[in-house]
Amino acid sequence: MRRLVLGLTLAAIPLFFSADSMAQAKPKAAPAKAAAAPAKAAPGKDKYPLLPAGEGRATVIKVCGQCHTPERPATQRHDKAGWNAIIDTMMQNGAVASDEDFDTVVAYLVKNFPPGKK
């Protein structure tokens, strides 16, 4: 219901502006910085420092990063069954990857974020 109300509200916004008022508005020149390329991480600085180096790290970044920061699993600790349950939930929520990639993600998480390890 909230999405419907929000969608209707957003759809109605253009109705409040007439074509005349829109035509009178003069577009502002874009700042020079806007034309510049997006900033990149500093050379030698790891973009995801909470994820230890190792086999599967790139797959975790690719698969988990579809919906949230790839470092989110670093805040949790689970055994293999726990990580598999989380991966199943992520799949139900729309995560897309091959079975091999999901297996790689689980293996990486079990190795690097087991129960009890801080």
pLDDT at 61: 97
pLDDT exceeds 50 at position 63:
yes
Q: What would the pLDDT profile of 67-100 be if each residue is shown by its tens digit? A: 999 999 999 999 999 999 999 999 999 999 999 9
> CB of 108 within 8 A of CB of 54?
yes
pLDDT exceeds 90 at position 23:
no
CA distances from 30 to 16, 24, 117 (A): 25, 18, 49
What share of the chain has pLDDT > 70, as a percent?
61
- Structure tokens that stand for 42 in this block: 């500093």
pLDDT at 117: 62
> CB of 97 within 8 A of CB of 51?
no
What are the two backbone dihedrals, phi and then psi, of residue 67, each rounded to the nearest 5 degrees?
-120, -25
Task: For each of the domains in the chain, give its residue range(s) and CATH number, in order of start.
Answer: 57-112 (1.10.760)
Q: Which pTM value belongs to this model? A: 0.62
